[in-house]
Amino acid sequence: MVKILLLQQLYNLSDEQLEYQLLDRLSFQRFAGLRLDMPGTLNQSEGQRDYFCGS
């Protein structure tokens, strides 16, 4: 999670832009330690999903 927030600050991205870039860029996924289970989805914990969805 900290690495994701670091990317957001370094590239001055909004939450929506960050989500798009995490889905689009393999370099962001590798840096953040995320992996793709299938195209268009990220394997993430419920806590991360709740944080980004505002729940």
Q: pLDDT value at position 34?
A: 84
| Residue 13 CB partners (closer than 8 Å, separation 6+) | 7, 21
Q: pLDDT value at position 53?
A: 61
Summarize pLDDT for 1-46 with one digit per residue, the tens: 899 999 999 999 999 999 999 989 999 999 998 876 545 555 555 5
Q: Give the CA distances from residue 20 to residues 24, 36, in Å, rounded to whole numbers and listed in that order.
A: 6, 14
Its domain, for residue 16, covers 2-53
What does pTM read for this prediction?
A: 0.62
What is the number of structural domains in the chain? 1
pLDDT: which is higher, 18 or 50? 18
Residue 54 has pLDDT above 90, yes or no: no
